[in-house]
Amino acid sequence: MTFATFAAAQVLRVVPRVRLSQAVGRLCDTTVPAPLSRLAASIYCRAYGVNLEEAADSNGTYSSFDEFFTRRLRDGVRPIADADVVSPADGNLVHVGPVTAGSRITVKSTAYRVGELIGDELEAKRYEGGSFGIVYLSPRDYHRVHSPVSGRLVLVRSLAGDLYPVNSIGERHIPNLFVRNQRVALVIDTPADRPQPLGRVTVVMVGAIIVGRITVTALGGADTRPGVYPIEPSASLSPGDEIGVFHLGSTAVIFVEPGTTLSRDPGPIRYGQALSSR
- The pLDDT of residue 67 is 87
Query: So where are the chain's domains?
Result: 3-69, 91-269
> Which one-letter DSSP state was computed for residue 41?
H
Q: Percent of the chain having pLDDT more than 90?
A: 50
Question: Catalytic residue positions?
Answer: 90, 146, 250
Average pLDDT, the chain: 83
Nearest to 242 by CA among 277, 261, 215: 215
Q: Is the pLDDT of residue 90 over 60?
A: yes
Paired with 144 in beta bridges are 245
| Mean pLDDT calculated for residue range 92-112 | 87
pLDDT at 39 over 70: yes
Helix (H/G/I), strand (E/B), else coil: 8: helix
Q: Radius of gyration over alpha carbons of the chain, in Å?
A: 18
* pLDDT 10s digits, 217-228: 999 987 888 999
Neighbours of 181 (CB within 10 A): 26
CA 62 to chain centre: 23
| pLDDT for 23 | 43
Three-class DSSP category at 231: strand
| pLDDT of the residue at 208 | 75
Cα–Cα distance for residue pair 113/220, rounded to 1 Å: 30
Long-range interactions of 221-230: CB distance < 8 A, separation 24+: 221/245, 224/156, 224/158, 224/184, 225/158, 226/158, 226/159, 226/160, 227/157, 227/158, 228/119, 228/155, 228/156, 228/157, 228/158, 229/155, 229/156, 229/157, 229/158, 230/154, 230/155
Which of 16-25, 212-221, 251-260 has the least mean pLDDT? 16-25
* Distance (Å, whole) CA 260 – CA 97: 12
Residue 73, pLDDT > 70, answer yes
- Spatial distance between the Cα atoms of 43 and 144, rounded to a whole number of angstroms: 21
For residue 210, the model assigns a pLDDT of: 57
**Looking at residue 172, what is its pLDDT?**
54
pLDDT band at 86 (very low <50, low <70, confident <90, very high): very high
Give dist(CA 48, CA 41) in Å, integer.
11
Q: Is the pLDDT of residue 248 over 80?
A: no
Q: How confident is the model at residue 123 (pLDDT cuts 50, 70, 90)?
A: very high
- Mean pLDDT (whole number) for 9-19: 42
Give the pLDDT of residue 249: 67
Statement: residue 109 has pLDDT above 90:
no
- Determine the Cα–Cα distance for residues 129 and 100; give it in Å rounded to an integer: 6
CB 33 within 8 A of CB 52: no
pLDDT in tens, 154-210: 999 999 877 665 555 445 545 566 677 889 999 999 998 877 789 999 999 998 765
Would you say the C-alpha torsion 273, 184, 11, 172 has a positive or negative sign? negative
Pairing type for strands 200-206 and 91-98 reads unpaired
**pLDDT at residue 17 is higher than 90:** no
Q: What is the pLDDT of residue 174?
A: 57
Quick check: helix, strand or coil at residue 45?
Answer: helix
Q: Give me the pLDDT at residue 29, please.
A: 65
pLDDT band at 1 (very low <50, low <70, confident <90, very high): very low
Segment 23-37, tens digit of pLDDT: 454 556 667 677 877
Nearest to 241 by CA among 146, 124, 100: 146
- Amino acid 58: pLDDT: 62
- Exposed e or buried b for every residue in 130-148, given b needs 16+ CB within 10 A? bbbbbbbbeeebbbbbbbb
pTM: 0.85
